[in-house]
Amino acid sequence: MKNKSVLITGANRGLGFEIARQLGEKDYHVIITGRDEEKLSKALSMLESAGIKAEMILMDVDQESSIQKAAGILFMKNFRLDILINNAGINLKNDKSLISSELNKLEKIISTNCYGALQVTRAFLPLINNYGKIINISSGGGSMTDPVEGWSPAYCVSKTLLNAFTRHLAYELSGHNISVNAVCPGWVKTDMGGSSAPRSVEKGAETPVWLASEAPITLTGKFLRDKKEIAW
Ligand code: NAP
């Protein structure tokens, strides 16, 4: 049987890279994408030296032309995708107040973390097989039911919007048998999470990898942490 394929955004480091590594170990055909050619090449070499079948495509999720170019490369090859993982994300420094932060910071975070994921989904959707899966890497900070704790409000709002996209896309794509879910990886030791984070990157990647490889296709329109549904 042909190996399943997965494309992951922002996969040159952190959770994206680890998800690529774990799915590669499960024999997925892995496509890592990122906006920096040098970093992406290094990540590809690391995967290849671990015996993983992978390829790389440059893609800045905050640039429509870059997304179209990346999708065009796969169209030209008639490539079919089974899984799309919208992982790329930013959290800007000094994101402390929705009142006093410059509005362009909020715009930048929303444009990368939400519109980026939506635009990538729109561009790659025609390449996704029936019974394919779209996985959005969100955050507990985007929850509308957890108490607000005051950290990174613009980032949290961007993840709330990503969660809303997830629910509506899941509804829209249910007729195509494509599932769409959002995952909170927990607080993970990466460049973004920092060294005080309690979770290893291996643990943070666990639920997205499970969703991609084991979860039933009927599981859709949900927000998950540790392989369990959590409240939006
Ligand atoms: P990270 O180590 O900072 O990695 C972020 C990745 O996103 C990098 O590869 C980065 O590429 C890429 N990226 C950022 N902007 C991009 C753009 N415009 N185009 C393409 N790639 C872009 O962070 P991480 O912890 O692995 O985060 C991965 C995802 O998990 C994010 O969506 C984050 O919000 C989410 N998350 C993380 C935590 C945590 O505790 N770590 C918790 C909840 C959710 P460059 O190297 O080029 O910057």
Q: Which atom of ligand 1 is nearest to the CA of 91?
A: 34
pLDDT tens across 96-147, in order? Answer: 999 999 999 999 999 999 999 999 999 999 999 999 999 999 999 999 999 9
pLDDT given at position 93: 87
43-57, pLDDT tens digit by residue?
A: 999 999 999 999 999
Of these residues, 155, 171, 203, 228, which one is catalytic?
A: 155
Q: What is the pTM of this model?
A: 0.98
Sequence-distant contacts of 73-77: CB under 8 A, at least 24 apart: 74/7, 74/31, 74/124, 74/127, 75/126, 75/127
Average pLDDT of span 148-156: 95
For residue 105, the surrounding DSSP H or E stretch is helix 103-110
Answer whether 139 contacts ligand 1 (Cβ < 6 A).
yes
**Percentage of the chain with pLDDT > 70?**
99
Which position among 4, 159, 189, 222 bears the catalytic label? 159
**Cβ proximity of 206 and 183 under 8 Å:** no
Looking from the CA of residue 113, the nearest atom of ligand 1 is 32
Whether pLDDT at 25 is above 60:
yes
One-letter amino acid for residue 187 of the chain: W
Rounded mean pLDDT, 207-212: 98
CA pseudo-torsion sign 138, 144, 145, 150: positive
- Our answer on whether the CB atom of 190 is closer than 6 Å to any ligand 1 atom is yes
Query: Residue 1's pLDDT band (boundaries 50, 70, 90)?
Result: low
Over range 50-76, report the average pLDDT.
97
Active site residue 171: no
Strand order in the sheet with 128-137: 54-58, 29-34, 5-8, 81-86, 128-137, 179-183, 223-225, 228-230
Atom of ligand 1 nearest to the CA of 35: 20
Arithmetic mean of pLDDT, 61-77: 98
Q: Catalytic site residue 131?
A: no
* Overall average pLDDT of the 12-37 stretch: 98
- Take atom 4 of ligand 1 and give the residue whose Cα is closest: 14
Instruction: Find the mean pLDDT for residues 182-197.
Output: 98
pLDDT at 217: 95
Q: How many CB atoms lie within 10 A of CB 105?
A: 15
